[in-house]
Amino acid sequence: MATRPTRQQQQACDHFAEAMGLICEGARLDGKGAFHAADLAEVAGRLAKASSFPLDTIVARAIERRGRSLGLRAGTAELLTLLEGEIPPLETLLLPDDGFRALVERLEQELGEV
């Protein structure tokens, strides 16, 4: 993004992140559907096409929202994107709540050991 985003653009990015989070939450809660990483990547790509923000920014905001909803510390998105492990950041949105928490805790422990 070449210029500073407007307040409306910031709000739009937040809405796209919320939409991504709600789609993933719906898939997790339903549990019977077939919504996998490739499906999420397709949805995320389409959301990014509608936004002036890059996909990474939308994903980071979605991860941060999820972390806050689970009572995790601020900076969860940075932790998961900077210390990308075996699960790409986008796919962490598909993890069950316990799996998401466990991944964040494990990365925090690893970071503490550095």
Residue 43 falls within a domain, yes or no? Answer: yes
Tokens of 106: 């494990």
Query: Does pLDDT of 1 surpass 60?
Result: no
| Band of residue 6 on the pLDDT scale cut at 50, 70, 90 | very high
Q: According to the model, what pLDDT value does residue 110 have?
A: 84
Q: Please, what is the average pLDDT of the chain?
A: 91
Q: Is 113 left (phi over 0), alpha (psi -120 to 50) or beta?
A: alpha
Whether 73 is in a domain gets the answer yes
Model confidence at 44: pLDDT above 80: yes
Range of the domain at 17: 7-113
> Do the domain assignments include residue 1?
no
pLDDT tens sequence across 61-110: 999 999 999 999 899 998 888 776 678 999 999 999 999 999 999 888 88
**In 3D, which of 22, 18, 7, 16 has the Cα closest to residue 47?**
16
Q: In the chain, how many domains are there?
A: 1
